[in-house]
Amino acid sequence: MLDFDAAPQNRMRHVASFILPLLLVCPTAAQRMITCDSSLGVYEIDITTGARTQIGTLSSNVGIAAGLAYDAVAGKLYVTSTGNDSVYLVDVTNWNATLIGNYGLGTLPLVHGLEWDSSTDTLYAMSMRNSGLYTVDTTTGLATLVGVTGLSGLVGICSLAHDTVQNVMYMTTSGAASCYTIDRATGAATLRGPLGAGANTPTALAYNVDNQTMYLLDNLARKLFTIHPVTGAATLVGPTGVGNLLGLAYLPGNGRLARSVHGCGNTTITVTGNAGTGSALETVVGNTTGVPLVGYGLTALGVPFCNCTIGHEWSFVTVGSPTVLQLPANPGLVGLQLFVQGADLFGAGGCADPLLTTTDTITVTIG
């Protein structure tokens, strides 16, 4: 029997050790470049051709999706809205967005640029109104001005991307159709060069750490480009198809989170984190009125129970929410599938005897 730590967030630190000898080899998917359009469509984009495939739709509370940022360590995807000037956390299993908060920047800050700086664990944003660089509080959403870029004239949409290898923040503007580096201490921008190659209306940037390449979307040309890190020159990859693409983020690693929709009652489950070996997963069971539970297992079931569904065999159960699971840093675990389901003991709206509700089941494919 496992000896759990008292704090809920530490109870699952050692649970993952039970999966070490059980290597269920399953195919894993490749890393993903994700884009979104202003009408909330979410797409996976092929970095070799530019072609996109729709994989979901952001929840309507976002309003107008204007930019994406991804924290690869914590496995958290953020989206900025120019419809309500706010930042959201996105569940990558169903693309539901949870409001973090309003930027607090007054009327029409038009925050398109959004990027996570892994070197300092900081979320940055760029306002089209004053071409100012801001830090964003990931708890409240409030933005704090770092400084303005110093660019004059029509700046247009400002996009951000962080080169995690060289630790350099890049910016593009649709007004000047140029590439810049940006000083994260002052906000000052330094020109690298014009984009050229027909990339006249850049609207989104993302850095692919696996091939160490910067990618750019042009929403009017409807094309994907790469950018030279020294000159800023753009090179065409290919057409993206019709759509006002305003966000771009690279999700590294082969780990995946997927959702089986069969929850009963109002109880929800949200799992965030990097599904790679050596990383941590956080599970939050929401909308509970009783005792929140989280169950972990290795065998999918999908068995009806009362008015609910038991998604998997519950090998280990923890009480409370949130719960953190630390995955072992063992490459032999790649491909193993772990199932996570929540429940609300004594919660109404599901099973009457015993009184409980169950959530959807999240499948974690370790990568």
Over residues 188-200, mean pLDDT: 96
- Looking at residue 54, what is its pLDDT? 97
List the strands of the sheet with 280-286, edge to edge.
Answer: 268-273, 280-286, 323-326
| 354 burial level (CB within 10 Å; 0-12, 13-18, 19+) | exposed
Task: Give the pLDDT band of residue 153 (cuts 50, 70, 90).
Answer: confident
pLDDT tens for residues 256-272? Answer: 999 999 999 999 999 99
Q: Answer whether 249's CB lies under 8 Å from 239's CB.
A: no
Q: Give the sign of the dihedral formed by CA 306, CA 308, CA 312, CA 313.
A: negative
Over residues 199-204, mean pLDDT: 95
> What are the structural domains, with CATH classification, of the chain?
8-27+254-365 (no CATH), 32-251 (2.120.10.30)
DSSP annotation of 61: G
Task: Give the pLDDT band of residue 4 (cuts 50, 70, 90).
Answer: very low
pLDDT tens for residues 300-313? Answer: 999 999 999 999 99
Cα→Cα distances 150→131, 155, 158, Å: 8, 10, 13
> Which residue, among 116, 95, 190, 194, has the nearest Cα to 160 in the 3D structure?
116
Position 118, amino acid? S
Cα→Cα distances 238→30, 35, 50, 268, Å: 20, 15, 5, 40
Over residues 165-183, mean pLDDT: 95
pTM of the model: 0.89
Mean residue pLDDT of the chain comes to: 91
Residue 210 has pLDDT above 50, yes or no: yes
- Looking at residue 152, what is its pLDDT? 78
- Looking at residue 283, what is its pLDDT? 97
Over residues 223-252, mean pLDDT: 96
Q: Is the peptide bond before 322 cis (omega within 30 degrees of 0)?
A: yes
Cα→Cα distances 352→49, 60, 306, 358, Å: 53, 33, 8, 12
Q: Give the sign of the dihedral formed by CA 51, CA 54, CA 55, CA 60.
A: positive
Q: Answer whether 67's CB lies under 8 Å from 161's CB.
A: no
What share of the chain has pLDDT > 70, as a percent?
92
Residue 3 has pLDDT above 70, yes or no: no
Q: Measured in Å, how far apart are the chain's first and last C-alpha atoms? A: 27
Q: Which two tokens stand for residue 145?
A: 């001005």
> Which residue, among 131, 162, 339, 137, has the nearest Cα to 250 in the 3D structure?
162
- Looking at residue 316, what is its pLDDT? 93
> Which residue, among 303, 367, 305, 306, has the nearest Cα to 337 in the 3D structure?
367
Residue 29 has pLDDT above 50, yes or no: no
Residues 6+ apart with CB under 8 A from 6: none
What is the rounded CA–CA span in Å between residue 347 and residue 329?
A: 36
Task: Give the pLDDT band of residue 5 (cuts 50, 70, 90).
Answer: very low
What is the rounded CA–CA span in Å between residue 125 and residue 81?
A: 12
- Looking at residue 64, what is its pLDDT? 96
pLDDT tens for residues 8-26? Answer: 333 333 333 333 333 333 3
pLDDT tens for residues 70-99? Answer: 999 999 999 999 999 999 999 999 999 999
- Looking at residue 254, what is its pLDDT? 86
Task: Give the pLDDT band of residue 155 (cuts 50, 70, 90).
Answer: confident
Q: Answer whether 348's CB lies under 8 Å from 39's CB.
A: no
Residue 230, number of CB atoms within 10 A of its CB: 9
- Looking at residue 7, what is its pLDDT? 41
Helix, strand, or coil (residue 239): strand
Higher pLDDT, 11 or 286: 286
